[in-house]
């Protein structure tokens, strides 16, 4: 004889845990870190006229740039176009938290990143041509440029260069870097001619090959 198997229902007081709806199981998008090459590349693709480089400056170039600055702890230093802060942290260390660092960044995303990463730095979201109005009557001891002078429109280059000259102390330093591949293009040649015309000394460092693309640094002293 066949035996009938009777299935018992689970007790009514035992409740199975609810399953999350399928729509709630979405994977979060992977966000690049603030200072990652992927983030920098994304900003360049989104706003190529406002972000002058496709990658942040390397540690090797950052070190050469900041070592070219003869910064004293109580100095007033300006950084133009700091991006996500490749130079900023090194400059703050040189100032020993006693001087003033004013960073002027046009890209709003980069400006927000700088404020989060470097609370000791004064971050201004504006064009570098308006530098003078943000110094509150001071003159800078040193101006460090992360701007892409070699690809800049002549009119904007003129405006920013005039702002630098109006904002720098006599004897003050101006530090900028240039990409080797663009050194012979008309904007880069025009920029170098301006440096030699308006500064009493213009020095260049050896090429930093451990940067993409390779670059060298100008160190200029105002008369």
Are the beta carbons of 94 and 70 closer than 8 angstroms? no
Are the beta carbons of 59 and 211 closer than 8 angstroms? no
Least confident window among 75-79, 95-99, 167-171: 95-99
Q: Is the confidence at residue 94, as pLDDT, over 50?
A: yes
CATH of the domain at 103: 3.40.50.150
In a domain, 49, yes or no: yes
Domain span at 62: 37-221
In a domain, 91, yes or no: yes
How many domains does the structure of the chain reveal? Answer: 1
- CA-nearest of 117, 214, 179 to 103 is 117
Q: Quote the pLDDT of residue 133.
A: 96
In a domain, 11, yes or no: no
11-22 mean pLDDT? 50
In a domain, 87, yes or no: yes
10-31 mean pLDDT? 45
Q: Quote the pLDDT of residue 33.
A: 54
In a domain, 112, yes or no: yes
For helices 108-117 and 88-95, angle between their N-to-C axes, nearest 10 degrees = 40
- CA-nearest of 153, 85, 148 to 120 is 85
In a domain, 9, yes or no: no
Q: Which residues contact 157 (CB under 8 A, 6 or more apart)?
A: 149, 187, 190, 191
Least confident window among 19-23, 84-88, 156-160, 195-199: 19-23
pLDDT band at residue 97, thresholds of 50, 70 and 90?
confident
In a domain, 141, yes or no: yes
């Amino acid at each position: 004889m066949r035996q009938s198997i009777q299935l018992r229902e689970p007790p009514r007081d035992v409740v199975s845990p609810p399953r999350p709806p399928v729509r709630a199981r979405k994977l979060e998008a992977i966000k690049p870190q603030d200072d990652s090459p992927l983030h920098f590349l994304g900003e360049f693709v989104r706003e190529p006229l406002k972000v002058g480089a496709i990658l942040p400056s390397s540690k090797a170039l950052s070190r050469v740039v900041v070592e070219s600055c003869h910064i004293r702890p109580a100095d007033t230093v300006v950084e133009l176009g700091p991006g996500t802060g490749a130079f900023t942290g090194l400059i703050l260390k040189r100032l020993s938290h006693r001087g003033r660092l004013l960073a002027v960044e046009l890209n709003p995303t980069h400006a927000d990143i700088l404020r989060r990463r470097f609370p000791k730095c004064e971050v201004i979201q504006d064009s570098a041509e308006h530098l003078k109005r943000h110094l509150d009557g001071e003159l800078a001891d040193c101006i460090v440029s992360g701007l892409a002078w070699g690809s800049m429109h002549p009119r904007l280059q003129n405006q920013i260069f005039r702002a630098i000259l109006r904002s720098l102390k006599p004897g003050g330093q101006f530090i900028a870097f240039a990409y080797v591949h663009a050194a012979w293009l008309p904007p880069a040649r025009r920029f170098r001619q301006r440096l030699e015309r308006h500064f009493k000394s213009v020095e260049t460092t050896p090429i930093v090959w451990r940067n993409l693309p390779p670059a060298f640094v100008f160190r200029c002293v105002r008369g």
